[in-house]
Structure formats: structure tokens, C-alpha cells
Amino acid sequence: MLGRQVRLIPFFVSFLLVIGFALHLVNLGRYLSTGQSELAAIFTPATDAVLTTWMAYCSILLIAGARRFFARYHVVGWRKVVYWLVAFYVTASLPGHLSFLTTGNTSYFDTFPVWFSPIIMTVYVLFIAYFVTLAVPPDFEEPRDDLRWKARLGSVRAVAQPQNGPAAAERRALALGGGPGVPSFIHDPTRIQVCVARL
């Protein structure tokens, strides 16, 4: 399960960063139009509940799926450092948002001055560019547990196929060595025994 979700980390985290970018953009626009910066007025409980839930999910994926992510996208050197910076930022932001949701205290948001918004928006763009430029190497091999999951999925699909009808009869004929257009009784041992008995 985790292996399949690791593939979507770039999308999940980028989507989170886009939400953050939009909220800070609204805050910056509010300051330019009114001369006041009230980040707490933008983060309503409903908005922050959605953001915090998505943030917690991304934090878990970034930490628990780091090893698989590094292997899948061949993350080494500075890319690994940036990855952990993103993971740290997302995880470190959770307590302030959880505090706002549980107590309604906006002190966490009030600590950020207006000039923080354009800076963090630039950082968000760089983080998104980081994930967008990732690519899976041509020689990458799926982890064994992912392959086992695919094998189980194939077995389930095989069991789910109808066991009666013309299609099922043709599958049985193929399994016994026959093929399309070959009478099924030729490859059915019970029918062969009946024919021999009648002779």
C-alpha cells in the first residue's frame, strides 16, 4: 500500500504547497489593498481543518516513505537534503495549525509579518519545481512487495472471471491444450470416458 502512495508524493506535496501559496497570496493582496496583514483572518477553522488534514497525511508519507522515494526517484546529494527540508517544514507546521483548531488561538499565525508571505511563496515555487523535475530512472525495479501486490491483484481478477458460459469453456479448453475452434469434449477427460464406454 505504501509503495503505491509513494509514487504520488510529488503530486500530494505539490498540491499542499499550491494551497499554501494561494493562502499567502490572498494575505499579501489583502495587505496591498488595505494596508493590513491578518493571516489569522484568512485561516478560518474550516479552511485550516482541510489544510491540516492534508498536511498531516503528507508528513506521514514524507517520513515513512522516504527510503522508497529515494530509491524510486534516485534521490541523492542535494536532492535528499531538499527532501528532508520539505519534510521538516511540513511536519513542523502541524503543531501551530493543530493549536488553532483545538483552542482557536491565532497567535501562531500572528507571529508571521507580512514580508514572510512573499518569501515563503518563493520557497513554495522552488519546492514545487523540485518535485516536478523528478524522474524515475529507466533501470528502476519495483520493490518485491509491490510485485507481490500485483500478483495478488492478478489472482483476484482471475478468480473474478465467470466460471460458466462459452468464455469459461474456451479458457478450460486452452488450459487443457486446446484452442479456439477445437471441440471442447476432445480435451474433457470425463466426456472422453463416456464416448469410450458407449463404443
Position 16 pLDDT exceeds 90:
yes
Q: What's the whole-number average pLDDT of the chain?
A: 78
Q: How far lies 1's CA from each of 73, 135, 143, 165, 196, in Å?
A: 18, 21, 12, 35, 54
Rounded mean pLDDT, 105-121: 86
pLDDT: which is higher, 194 or 116: 116
Rounded mean pLDDT, 180-188: 49
Residue among 76, 74, 89, 183 at smallest CA distance from 138: 74
| 32-75: pLDDT as tens digits | 888 776 666 677 888 889 999 999 999 999 999 999 999 999 99
* Distance from C-alpha of 82 to C-alpha of 63, rounded to nearest angstrom: 13
* Cβ(90)–Cβ(19) below 8 Å: no
| 88-111: pLDDT as tens digits | 999 999 999 998 888 888 788 878
Q: How far lies 80's CA from each of 6, 75, 110, 179, in Å?
A: 15, 6, 32, 54
Q: For residue 41, give the C-alpha cell.
A: 483572518
Residue among 126, 21, 134, 13 at smallest CA distance from 72: 134
Position 113 pLDDT exceeds 70:
yes
Question: Residue 192 carries which side chain, given as an amino acid letter?
Answer: I
pLDDT at res. 40: 64
Helix ranges (H only) for the chain are 2-6, 9-34, 39-42, 45-64, 66-73, 78-103, 107-110, 116-132, 144-160, 166-175, 189-198
Position 129 pLDDT exceeds 70:
yes
Question: Residue 123 carries which side chain, given as an amino acid letter?
Answer: V
pLDDT at res. 156: 44
pLDDT: which is higher, 154 or 25: 25
Using alpha carbons only, give the angle 142, 149, 171 rounded to the nearest 5 degrees.
115
pLDDT at res. 196: 42
| 73-84: pLDDT as tens digits | 999 999 999 999
pLDDT at res. 166: 59
pLDDT at res. 195: 45
Whole-prediction pTM: 0.68
